[in-house]
């Protein structure tokens, strides 16, 4: 199986990572949020002390019949776009035949593919050089020109496999991505970015092998997985659910088997936002604002064109989708939707209507935590488990106040809490926004 066959299957999700935050609504160069660019996965050259120069991925592989690993490094290379007057002087804006051309920095997708033998990697690390060449070209416009320029980016991937002791045949895969460039100390960020790997992430395929989830490993592998070091990136199983021979390691924390919503037909460069809201907001931009967005970046122009041409039936699909319907048990627990909070903790709980089920009441119900009844107002300490949301682990050890004890349609019990000291807690309480944990993820505060 070739590299494209293995790795292109996750290209859509990988592209969403590559362009996450590339350009934000309202997609204009003058917008404050688009003046500080490139927020994820930036690996800067040596000499820069503000952002990392390297990342590391470590995960576990049961080799099975795998004899080769296919690796793909993906990133953006900064490409400066500079309007020039007829005498070659750079300007912030050039207008030719009524069309505006703004000074801006675009991102050109780059990738490095390599196939390495498993036996070679077990004998020692393999180093793969990364070279993104410099380029410069000029587009003549009659009454001026556009100069596009990129700078050489040098780096390497260092890949190794370590056979781990124990009764199971399992290897630890390590991939280091390193920027080998140099920059002047205290150089401004816009200069540092010229020789940076931007939005750097890796995809690894092992046909015939099985990667173990780093987020939710099998019980026997949990201690080994806990010893893996992941720095400035996080590996997840990629491809459809049930597949385990491809890993996507990204600077954005994802769940295993991430997928794009089928209703999302336009790349709005913000996978964490609501497509319907962004589409409607883009539609109501003034003609002048749309013109500036089109002049800002070709990808911004594509967004404006796409939302203006979006058929009504596609807009309706953005308004909401039910993934599945399941009947509630007889007698009814509190329905939180098609999925339970344990699988997808709801960001907002519609507050309780006593008429729904008189047998439960989140305001007064309690649940035992370490043998002690816990109910609304109880003080607890958060101890997120390994099977929950990865981002919840940042809350480990924090004190919180119980706001409700709720029941899902599957009979599970979940505790809604607000984190003590959170400056947004008051606003979240007003809107009924809580964080949800299982009782075994809590301790009674002393």
Each residue of 260-302: pLDDT tens digit?
888 888 888 876 667 888 888 899 999 999 999 999 999 999 9
* pLDDT (tens digit per residue) in 169-207: 999 999 999 999 999 888 999 999 999 999 999 999 999
Return the residue matching tokens 């190794």: 160
Q: How confident is the model at residue 128 (pLDDT cuts 50, 70, 90)?
A: very high
**Contact present, 375 and 405 (Cβ < 8 Å):** yes
pLDDT for 47 equals 85
pTM of the model: 0.74
The count of other CB atoms within 10 Å of the CB of residue 172 is: 18
pLDDT for 383 equals 93
- Token readout for 134 is 């410099």
Which range has the worst mean pLDDT, 358-362, 401-405, 428-432?
Answer: 358-362
* pLDDT (tens digit per residue) in 78-126: 999 999 999 999 999 999 888 899 999 999 999 999 999 999 999 999 9
**Contact present, 185 and 47 (Cβ < 8 Å):** yes
**Contact present, 162 and 58 (Cβ < 8 Å):** no
**Contact present, 202 and 73 (Cβ < 8 Å):** yes
d(CA 444, CA 130): 52
SS3 3: helix
**Contact present, 52 and 232 (Cβ < 8 Å):** yes
φ, ψ of residue 149 to 5 degrees: the values are: -145, 140
Strand partners for 394: none
Residue 112: which of 84, 82, 53, 70 has the closest Cα? 70
Residue 272: which of 371, 347, 177, 164 has the closest Cα? 347
Residue 132: which of 113, 146, 111 has the closest Cα? 111
* 34 secondary structure, DSSP code: G
Which range has the worst mean pLDDT, 2-16, 147-161, 351-365?
Answer: 351-365
Give the CA radius of gyration of the chain. 25
d(CA 446, CA 217): 32
Q: What would the mean pLDDT of 129-150 be, rounded to a whole number?
A: 95
């Amino acid at each position: 199986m070739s590299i494209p066959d293995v790795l292109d299957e996750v290209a859509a999700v990988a592209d969403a990572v590559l362009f996450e935050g590339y350009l934000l609504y309202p997609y204009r160069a003058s917008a404050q949020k688009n003046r500080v660019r490139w927020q994820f996965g930036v690996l800067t050259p040596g000499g820069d002390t503000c952002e990392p120069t390297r990342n590391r991925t470590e995960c576990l592989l049961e080799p099975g019949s795998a004899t080769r690993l296919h690796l793909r490094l993906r990133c953006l290379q900064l490409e400066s776009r500079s309007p020039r007057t007829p005498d070659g002087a750079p300007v912030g804006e050039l207008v030719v035949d009524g069309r505006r051309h703004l000074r801006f920095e675009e991102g050109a997708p780059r990738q490095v593919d390599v196939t390495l033998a498993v036996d070679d990697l077990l004998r020692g690390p393999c180093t793969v050089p990364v070279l993104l060449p410099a380029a410069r070209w000029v587009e003549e416009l009659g009454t001026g020109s556009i100069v596009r320029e990129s700078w050489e980016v040098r780096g390497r991937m260092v890949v190794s496999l370590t056979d781990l002791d124990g009764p199971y045949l399992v290897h630890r895969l390590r991939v280091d991505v390193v920027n080998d460039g140099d920059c002047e100390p205290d150089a401004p960020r816009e200069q540092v970015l010229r020789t940076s790997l931007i939005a750097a992430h890796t995809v690894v395929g092992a046909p015939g092998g099985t990667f173990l989830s780093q987020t939710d490993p099998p019980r026997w592998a949990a201690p080994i997985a806990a010893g893996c070091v992941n720095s400035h990136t996080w590996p997840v199983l990629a491809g459809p659910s049930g597949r385990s021979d491809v890993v996507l390691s990204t600077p954005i924390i994802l769940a295993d088997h991430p997928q794009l919503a089928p209703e999302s037909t336009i790349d709005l460069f913000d996978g964490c936002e609501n497509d319907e809201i962004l589409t409607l907001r883009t539609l109501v931009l003034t003609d002048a604002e749309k013109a500036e967005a089109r002049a800002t970046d070709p990808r911004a122009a594509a967004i404006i064109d796409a939302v203006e041409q979006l058929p009504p039936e596609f807009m309706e699909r953005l308004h909401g989708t039910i993934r599945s319907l399941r009947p509630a048990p007889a007698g009814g627990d509190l329905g939180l939707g098609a999925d339970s909070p344990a699988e997808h903790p709801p960001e907002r709980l519609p507050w309780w209507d006593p008429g729904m089920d008189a047998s439960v009441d989140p305001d007064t119900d309690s649940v035992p935590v370490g043998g002690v009844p816990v109910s609304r107002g109880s003080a607890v300490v958060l101890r997120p488990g390994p099977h929950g949301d990865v981002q919840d682990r940042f809350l480990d050890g924090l004190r919180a106040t119980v706001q409700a004890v709720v029941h899902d349609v599957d009979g599970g019990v979940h505790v809604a809490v607000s984190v003590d000291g959170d400056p947004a807690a008051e606003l979240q309480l007003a809107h009924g926004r809580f964080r949800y944990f299982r009782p075994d993820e809590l301790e009674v505060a002393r």
